[in-house]
Chains A and B, each alone.
Chain A
Amino acid sequence: MEAAPALVFEGVSKRFAAGGRVVEALDGVDVRIQPGKVTGLIGPDGAGKTTLMRLAAGLLMPDRGAIRVLDIDVVREPLRVQSSVGYMPQRFGLYEDLSVQENLDLYADLQGVPPADRPARYRELMHMTGLAPFTRRLAGRLSGGMKQKLGLACTLVRPPRLLLLDEPTVGVDPVSRRELWAIVYRQVRDQGMSVLLSTAYLDEAERCDEVVLMHAGHSLGQGTPASFSEPMRGRSFHVNAPSLGKRKLSTRLGRVPGIIDSIIEGEQVRVVTAETGLPDLAAALPDVPDLTAEAAEPVFEDAFIARLKTREEGVAGTATTLVSHQVAESAAGEAVIEVHELERRFGDFVAVKGVSFQVRRGEIFGLLGANGAGKTTTFRMLCGLLPVSAGEVRVAGLDLRRAAARARGRLGYMAQRFSLYVDLTVMQNLRFFASAYGLDRKRARQRIGWALEAFELADYVDTNAADLPLGFKQRLAMAAALMHEPDILFLDEPTSGVDPLARREFWQRINALAAAGVTVLVTTHFMDEANYCDRLVIMAQGEILAEDTPAGMKARFRSEEHPDPTMEDAFIGLIEAHERQGEAAA
């Protein structure tokens, strides 16, 4: 006999009125979550994941359909449900002005944990999360990963029978992500807890027992990760062509009929085909002699893309019109960004120290690191937004200390979270940025026309930026940064929170720009995105730990048990080595 499901959605619909339009957040969704398992809720931005979570937590009432949580009707008895589940919202509400211990005490009081049981439970949670040394620290002073772990600990202070986690790993560094997953699985193993977890990271789907795939308010399917990826066998391939380079190869393969996805994975290109079997690549790319292809082990992401691509035809097809300007040709390999012994202090706190690197024209250069590693501070100094405390910065041959304004005219900057005017429409935003960069009327009109076309924003000209889907916000922000045809582009966490489809489009555009000679400097905490870079540095605590090509970086950590290390392995390896060094020094 099968155990009663932990959570049942039957024909659930929920709509919202937003800005005069009615959005169907969920449309007739049926989901059954098995007890004692980790179920992943996976889907692109705006698929309805958060709405589903909130409905399950009794924070929203469905317009139609029935929801039963732990065999309780949520619509009738929301309070009983709220007393039996643990829920961690996307931005977990930690009280930042309370200490770690005080946050725990509050939730223990609210959850009615008997005082006698507390010391043991606290000890266990602190041990699991590694927060034991920080119990007296204010929650606001914790790093992003530690905050997330504390949030989870607060939710688990009285072990709930069903744990609802809304994107718990977003913006969290890889080390903390691994730890979060370990904690979740421990709960399932020790307490028999049922877990529903939403995520935007597709690689995390493989860690779930079961996966619910969501898209545009519908559930597209439910099953084990393998049940999604197995039908893809024979449709996933690795393609190699050293003479062409992985970026160009990826762009060209993307245009081959029958290929629905082509992304850089490690040092090769991963290709997903519409039907079983690879199209005749030799015929499609006759000028590439060293082209080799082999079948690849299918993963969940292949299935995800295959399912969504057939639904959204034409997504990400137009990187070609992107570059209207060809950057002035100059000596190849000339350094356009030179950073030497850069340092930035905020009072006693050294945010960036001894950072040196050079970026050559047409390169994609990555700054990789966890939140708080000093990436954004470095970036702001490079853009002349933040004065340097010590060291030298030259951008496009100009010393930022003396000619910051002139240097800024040569570069485009896309800030974290996109810094758009959310109360202005797409058109008004573009007009504003055109005038801010001092384009004359004729050129402004021309560039706005280009932006609407190249970024496929024409359908949204009169939509307020606030109401755009995240992927479109990102497009608009990038269009704004390119308004004045800069030859250097700075992108700070451009893909944070953006779903996989939008991320693919974004990298296609970046590839096209780099191919046209635009120099791109990008920060990211997505480890797999680092593979798109020509070279990268890995930062931690304001310092550069290593500088290398992606292949070189990974090769450093090749070992017996890791014959083919990923960027994440390399990153974690470097951080651990750095910490050992720090301990040895102390």
Chain B
Amino acid sequence: MNAMAAKRMRLRGMIRKESLQILRDPSSIAIAFVMPVVLLLLFGYGVSLDARHVPLAMVVEQPDATSASLIGAFQRSEFFDPRPYASIQAAQQAFDLREVFGIVWLRNDFSRRLLSSGEAPIGVIVNGVDANQARITEGYIQGVWQAWLASYAREQGVELKIPVRLEPRIWFNAAVRSRDFLVPGLIAVIMTLIGAMLTSMVVAREWERGTMEALMVTPIRIGELVIGKLVPYFVLGMGGMLLSVAMALWQFDVPLRGSFWALSAASALFMLVALGMGLLISVVAKNQFVAGQVSIVITFLPAFILSGFIFEISSMPEPIRVITHLVPARYFVAILQTLFLAGDIWPIVLANCGALAIMALIFLGLARRKTHKRLDA
């Protein structure tokens, strides 16, 4: 038998063995298919950066037709859940108890001043504990107020003295649904976890159960060992990826404006990076527990925090922004958010794919070099 045939036979044996182990081990199936579903459901529904149905205390000291019209405008807005309070004291109490997030206060001279001077500022108090939510709420209140003021002026035939009118247009995510950009980013985080955790733990398992020692004293080459591990888990990881994309499209109604093929190619590239990281971890950590912990700390957490999936990279301080360049998920998040929401913007997609390709080469190369058929190296 020639060397090529022997090589092919060894590789086939390894891949078949690894695949059988995947099929028989519920935990690897769970990591690849159950975890993405759970995480997507949790984040897709649980985490929202939008202000919607914000409970708002409405204090109207002298109710009349004008104030009722303003309250109506708040009630019609899907962003607010207005609740009437009789006095500012009662509203403040509710505010302190966190029953309402903000207060809109119409004093008893509201209608009079509005009619006489054409403007009657309303009092607005917003809970600033969650600064992000406070800023969004404040903006929405202002929006409702200005829209109402404009239509009120038209009705009254009064010319309002607002010099410039802002007409905002939001591109790519017209509804400003945070889910639409969270879910693609989340896919990157999930893929990092699946890729790194699966491979790091399965290699550690071989060390732990003593199968590695027996494996090493066979004609198998290191390259074959690495490829034999990569192929089945690549397939498994891509399966998890496909499931996540399907959930994004049909469960969360996230649009896919770019091409599916670009998405597949970029995902395959990223999968190689994640698997490479996992292999590298497994070279260091020779038991499953350590491997699992290490892969969470050095792959999952940075992917979560430093990838721009939730926290905008451009608003991070300079030193941290530099560090984000080392996080592979950063490039994949950019690719995914672009492909899902904006479309095939090739300069962005290709530049980030280039970065991923370099990282894949580095991680896989290191894993290959660091794996020895020896116990004391």
Residue from the set B9, B25, B217, B375 with the largest chain A CB neighbour count within 10 Å: B217
Q: Which of B12, B214, B216, B375 is in CB contact (< 8 Å) with A92? A: B214
- Measured between beta carbons, the chain A residues less than 8 angstroms from B16 are 105-106, 109
Query: A75 to nearest B CB, angstroms?
Result: 11
Complex Cα gap A202–B218 (Å): 30
Q: Verify if A181 is at the interface (C-beta below 8 Å from B).
A: no
Q: Verify if B17 is at the interface (C-beta below 8 Å from A).
A: yes
Complex Cα gap A105–B220 (Å): 14
- Measured between beta carbons, the chain B residues less than 8 angstroms from A79 are 219, 221, 373
Near A by CB (< 8 A), chain B positions 179-219 give: 206, 209-219
Residue from the set B206, B211, B221 with the largest chain A CB neighbour count within 10 Å: B211
Near B by CB (< 8 A), chain A positions 80-131 give: 82-83, 85-98, 102, 105-112, 114
Q: Which of B9, B12, B14, B374 is in CB contact (< 8 Å) with A78? A: B374
The answer on a CB contact under 8 Å between B217 and A111 is no
Q: Verify if A58 is at the interface (C-beta below 8 Å from B).
A: yes
The answer on a CB contact under 8 Å between B17 and A106 is yes
Q: Chain B at the A interface: mostly helix, strand, loop or mixed?
A: helix
Q: Verify if B174 is at the interface (C-beta below 8 Å from A).
A: no
Near B by CB (< 8 A), chain A positions 142-159 give: 151, 154-155
Complex Cα gap A91–B21 (Å): 19
- Measured between beta carbons, the chain B residues less than 8 angstroms from A385 are none
The answer on a CB contact under 8 Å between B376 and A61 is yes
The answer on a CB contact under 8 Å between B219 and A83 is yes
Q: Which of A82, A90, A164 is in CB contact (< 8 Å) with B218? A: A82
The answer on a CB contact under 8 Å between B214 and A89 is yes
The answer on a CB contact under 8 Å between B218 and A60 is no
The answer on a CB contact under 8 Å between A112 and B213 is no
Query: A319 to nearest B CB, angstroms?
Result: 37
Q: Verify if A57 is at the interface (C-beta below 8 Å from B).
A: yes
The answer on a CB contact under 8 Å between B219 and A95 is no
Q: Verify if A54 is at the interface (C-beta below 8 Å from B).
A: yes
Q: Verify if B169 is at the interface (C-beta below 8 Å from A).
A: no
For B341-377 the 0/1 string (1 means CB < 8 A from A) is 0000000000000000000000000000000011111
Query: A85 to nearest B CB, angstroms?
Result: 7
Query: B371 to nearest A CB, angstroms?
Result: 13
Query: B11 to nearest A CB, angstroms?
Result: 9
For B1-25 the 0/1 string (1 means CB < 8 A from A) is 1000010011011101100110011
Q: Verify if A59 is at the interface (C-beta below 8 Å from B).
A: yes
Q: Which of A92, A102, A110 is in CB contact (< 8 Å) with B219? A: A110
- Measured between beta carbons, the chain A residues less than 8 angstroms from B220 are 110
The answer on a CB contact under 8 Å between B219 and A89 is no
Q: Which of B1, B10, B210, B218 is in CB contact (< 8 Å) with A91? A: B210
The answer on a CB contact under 8 Å between B13 and A85 is no
Query: B373 to nearest A CB, angstroms?
Result: 7
Query: B306 to nearest A CB, angstroms?
Result: 34
Q: Which of B17, B24, B25, B375 is in CB contact (< 8 Å) with A60? A: B375
The answer on a CB contact under 8 Å between A82 and B9 is no
Please name the residue on chain A nearest to B8 by beta carbon.
Answer: A109
Please name the residue on chain A nearest to B6 by beta carbon.
Answer: A112
- Measured between beta carbons, the chain A residues less than 8 angstroms from B376 are 16, 59-61
Complex Cα gap A481–B284 (Å): 37
The answer on a CB contact under 8 Å between B373 and A95 is no
Known: A60-B376, A78-B373, A88-B214. A93 touches B209 (CB 8 A): yes
Query: A277 to nearest B CB, angstroms?
Result: 49
A-B contact pairs, 7 of them (CB 8 A): A59-B216, A59-B373, A78-B373, A93-B211, A94-B211, A105-B13, A107-B218
Q: A85-B217, A98-B20, A111-B218 are in contact. List 10 more A-B contacts (CB 8 A).
A: A59-B213, A59-B375, A61-B376, A89-B217, A95-B211, A98-B21, A110-B215, A154-B214, A155-B214, A164-B217
Q: Which residues of A contact B (CB under 8 A)?
A: 16, 54, 57-61, 78-79, 82-83, 85-98, 102, 105-112, 114, 151, 154-155, 164
